[in-house]
Amino acid sequence: MVYGLNIVSANEFLYAAQPLDGNIAAIRSLDRSPDGGVSFESVSGGRRCHTEHFPTKMLWKGPKGSIIGDFNRQNLVNVSEQAKSLIEEWEPGVHQFVPVDFVDAKGNVLEHRYSLVICNRLDSVDREHTTFVLSAAKTWAAASDLVRWGEKDKIPSHIDPAKPGRFVFKKSRIGGAHIWRDKHMNLGGIFISDAFAAALRNSGLTGLRLKPEGEGMEEVQ
C-alpha cells in the first residue's frame, strides 16, 4: 500500500511560522530539464534546489510551550533533527535538507531544523488499473473534470466518469524508493512506502497523520 505523508499540527491548534529572510517564491530546481511531467520549478517538484533563497530563520508564532512537530509544513515542509535522521537512515544521501532556525519573537533559537526537499521524482502510477486520465499526457485528472471541461472524448472507454477515480501505483515504477513525489500530479503530494510508513508510526515522531492517500489507492506488482 502507498501512503501519503500528511503533515498536521502537533498542537490542538495550527500555529503559523513566518520566514524572516529568504524568498521562497524564487527557489528553483538545479535540474531544469523537461521530463514530460508537471512543473519542477519549486521545492515541491521532486528535484534538488538552489539554496540561496531558502529562509535561514523562521519566526514561530505558537505560544510558549507549543510543539513544533517533527514534521511541519508552515511555508515549507520542514523537519526536526530526529525526522531527518530517520529519513537519512532509509534513503541516505537522496533528499535535500537545508538548515533553518525556528526562533521566538525575541530572536531566541527554539530549534535547529531543516527545510526538506524530496528528491525522488517518479512516474509511479499504474496506467492499466488507474481510473484517472493522464490529461495531455502530462497531468492526472479526474474523468468527471474532463466532462466538466468539455473534453469527454478524451476519456478512455473503460473509465466511467460517474464513478470516483481510483489511483493504483505500480511497484516496478516505484522501484526501491520509500519517499517520492509523482511527476504527473499537480498537487505535489509526498508519497511513502508502507515499510517507511510503519517506521514512522513506530518512531513516535509528531506532526503526521498516515493513511492511504485518497479513495481507492492501491499498489500492483
CA distances from 196 to 5, 37, 96, 102, 202 (A): 10, 25, 18, 27, 10
Residue 66 lies in a domain: yes
Q: Same domain for 47 and 137? A: no
Predicted local distance difference test score (pLDDT) of residue 32: 87
Tell me what percent of the residues of the chain surpass a pLDDT of 70.
94
Give pTM, 2 decimals. Answer: 0.90
Q: At residue 101, does pLDDT exceed 70?
A: yes
Pick from 106, 103, 117: nearest CA to 21: 103
Q: Same domain for 161 and 191? A: no
Residue 127 lies in a domain: no
Instruction: Please count the residues of the chain.
Output: 221
Predicted local distance difference test score (pLDDT) of residue 188: 61
CA distances from 102 to 56, 61, 72 (A): 9, 10, 11
Predicted local distance difference test score (pLDDT) of residue 179: 96
Q: How far apart are CA 166 and CA 175, in angstroms?
A: 21
Q: Same domain for 149 and 90? A: no
Residue 17 lies in a domain: yes
Residue 70 burial (C-beta neighbours within 10 Å; 0-12, 13-18, 19+):
buried
Count up the domains in the chain and report the number: 2
Residue 205 lies in a domain: yes
Residue 19's domain spans which residues? Answer: 3-122+172-220
Q: Same domain for 60 and 161? A: no
Predicted local distance difference test score (pLDDT) of residue 59: 98
Residue 30 lies in a domain: yes
Q: Same domain for 84 and 156? A: no
Q: Same domain for 113 and 28? A: yes
Confidence of residue 187 (pLDDT cuts 50, 70, 90): low
Q: Same domain for 145 and 77? A: no
Containing H/E element for 145? Answer: helix 143-148
- Write the DSSP symbol of residue 15: -
Q: Same domain for 99 and 36? A: yes
Q: How far apart are CA 109 and CA 88, in angstroms?
A: 24
